[in-house]
Amino acid sequence: MVSRKHEFSRSYMILKPHKAKFFDLFMFLLPFGSRKTKFIDCSKDNERSYINIIDRWFIVLSIMLQIILAAVATPLAQLDSFLVKLLNFISFNGGIIGILCKILKGRKLVKPDENSPDYRSLAGFSDWRRDLDSSILPANQFRYYGDLTMMAAKVAYESKPFIQSVVNDRWKMTFLDFFDFWNDFQGKATTQAFMFENTATDNSNVVVVAFRGTSPLDSYDWQVDADFSWYDITGVGRIHSGFMKALGLQKVSGWPKELTRPQHEFAYYTLRQKLRDIAKANDKARFIITGHSLGGALATLFVTLLSMHEETTVLEKLQAVYTYGQPRVGDRRFAKFMVNSVQQYGFKYYRYVYSSDLVPRVPFDCIIFRYKHFGRCVYFNGFYRGRIVREQPNKNYFSVLWVIPKYFSAWCELIMSFIIPLVKGSDYWESLLMTAARVVGLFIPGFTAHFPVNYVNSTRLRKLNVSYRVEDLIVEDDIEDD
């Protein structure tokens, strides 16, 4: 019998790491072990769907990752808070040399103001850049909006004052709003996004929605990425449960077209209404949705829900979706649904992947989870040489054949981070924090490849080999068979 809390979906699989014990996981992996476990909640039609040993390993891997991330959540949060305060203290006082000079001169040290437009997050300290690349002109829309949307996805990690200052003062565009959305399942606000209008070019009328992604030391964000649970949505397909919850999934009713007197602001419903209002007020308005990491998944799923609810007024004004380091969102049926939506409404979909970035390679594309990307991938290697591919190399990350190339790539990326500024200029000097992260990446290849700095560089330094128009990136037979 379908649980009332899952009644909006007749087919689902929810992993429960908090109910998993080591002995249960061990027995689950054995050929003769029990398949009825406390750490998997699924509909009856899926109870025997994880017979394959490889699928059981993927389930255990997902659960173990979530257990580890939950265990380190508090120390990671404390480390994040400490580093952010320390780095902002150093920055506000003119660096280490500035602090020493103030001490020697007997001057008072400045206490950082968290509401200041100069107060950065940890992601902000990994890449100092706030300005757009002035050498990329609006006439080249593919490159121009690649740079603009990636920078928007990057500054989405920051506070409202920081974002507002960057958009209005540096980009000379119009900041519209900042949001902190409620997650009904977490009982707190977990999803952030902001909107702005590109008023820097003549008659652009382009409104950009940027979702915040996975913060470097936010254990909850990483748990969402590591959780491979899914719900099957009628007419759409299997979709990652964590992404749906972050976007505003309702506990009992799922995705009703309209909410009746909601007590909180939910990402999908609030942003949809904002875009509805803009579309009605300005017939020339065009929309772009973007995000890095988790933000890319939310950008994609946001458009999925618009299409599911047949929001024609908004979709007909949708110009493009740009995602960077986006994890997989749904299964093959979901992918086909999205391809049909792209073709029906005529918007563009660009999915960027850099080198050995771990996140675009999860959740896994295997028999039990069946997560799929759709469309073609704009893939860049560690030297920022790009090509259009059907799927990024090493699609599930843990291939034995790719162990040596991944470590080699991590070393190349560290070395290149010192060479590029000498060739391309001071804009490409990396912070000490980013250099330290790249050293960590030598032991965990794919970790630092996910950082926004790599995607900003990809949009600016790229040498892209394209044998056909980038506008033709979506074709139906790009979706691999199960």
C-beta separation of 465 from 386 below 8 A: yes
Cα–Cα nearest to 15, from 38, 32, 36: 38
Q: What is the pLDDT of residues 75-84, one digit of tens each?
A: 999 999 999 9
Q: At what angle do helices 22-29 and 53-71 cross, to 10 degrees?
A: 160
Secondary structure element (H or E) that encloses residue 74, with its range: helix 73-92
Q: How many CA atoms lie within 13 A of 240 on its CB side?
A: 30
Q: How far apart are CA 358 and CA 395, in angstroms?
A: 9
What tens-digit pLDDT sequence spans the chain (482 residues)?
345 556 678 888 889 998 988 888 888 888 765 566 888 888 776 666 566 777 788 888 889 999 999 999 999 999 999 999 999 999 999 999 999 999 999 999 999 999 999 999 999 999 999 999 999 999 888 899 999 999 999 999 999 999 999 999 999 999 999 999 999 988 999 999 999 999 877 667 999 999 999 888 888 888 888 888 899 999 999 999 999 999 999 988 899 999 988 899 999 999 999 999 999 999 999 999 999 999 999 999 999 999 999 999 999 999 999 999 999 999 999 999 999 999 999 999 999 999 999 999 988 887 666 899 998 899 999 999 999 988 899 888 878 788 999 999 999 999 999 999 999 999 999 999 999 999 999 999 999 999 999 999 999 998 776 544 555 555 555 555 55
Q: How many CA atoms lie within 13 A of 461 on its CB side?
A: 22
Q: How far apart are CA 18 and CA 67, in angstroms?
A: 7
Cα–Cα nearest to 9, from 332, 310, 254: 254
C-beta separation of 27 from 60 below 8 A: no
Burial class (CB in 10 A: 0-12, 13-18, 19+), 341: buried
Please, what sign has the CA dihedral across residues 155, 160, 162, 164? positive
Burial class (CB in 10 A: 0-12, 13-18, 19+), 470: middle
Please, what sign has the CA dihedral across residues 206, 207, 209, 210? positive
The ranges assigned to domains in the chain are 1-71, 73-112, 117-478
At residue 59's C-alpha, the angle toward residues 57 and 40, to 5°, is 135
C-beta separation of 128 from 154 below 8 A: no
Q: Which residue has the tokens 């449960």?
A: 241
Catalytic-labelled residue, pool 121, 293, 341, 355: 293
Cα–Cα nearest to 397, from 67, 69, 61: 61
Sheet holding 206-211, edge to edge: 174-183, 188-198, 206-211, 286-292, 318-324, 348-354, 377-380, 385-389, 463-465
CATH of 117-478, one of 3.40.50.1820, 2.30.180.10, 1.10.1060.10, 3.30.70.120: 3.40.50.1820
Q: Which residue has the tokens 């506990």?
A: 251
- Cα torsion for 233, 237, 240, 243, to the nearest 10°? -60
Catalytic-labelled residue, pool 373, 450, 458, 478: 450
Burial class (CB in 10 A: 0-12, 13-18, 19+), 218: buried
Catalytic-labelled residue, pool 221, 357, 365, 478: 357
Annotation says 293 is catalytic: yes
Q: How far, in whole angstroms, is CA 168 from its chain's centroid? A: 24
Annotation says 309 is catalytic: no
pTM: 0.92
Annotation says 450 is catalytic: yes
Q: How far apart are CA 171 and CA 213, in angstroms?
A: 21
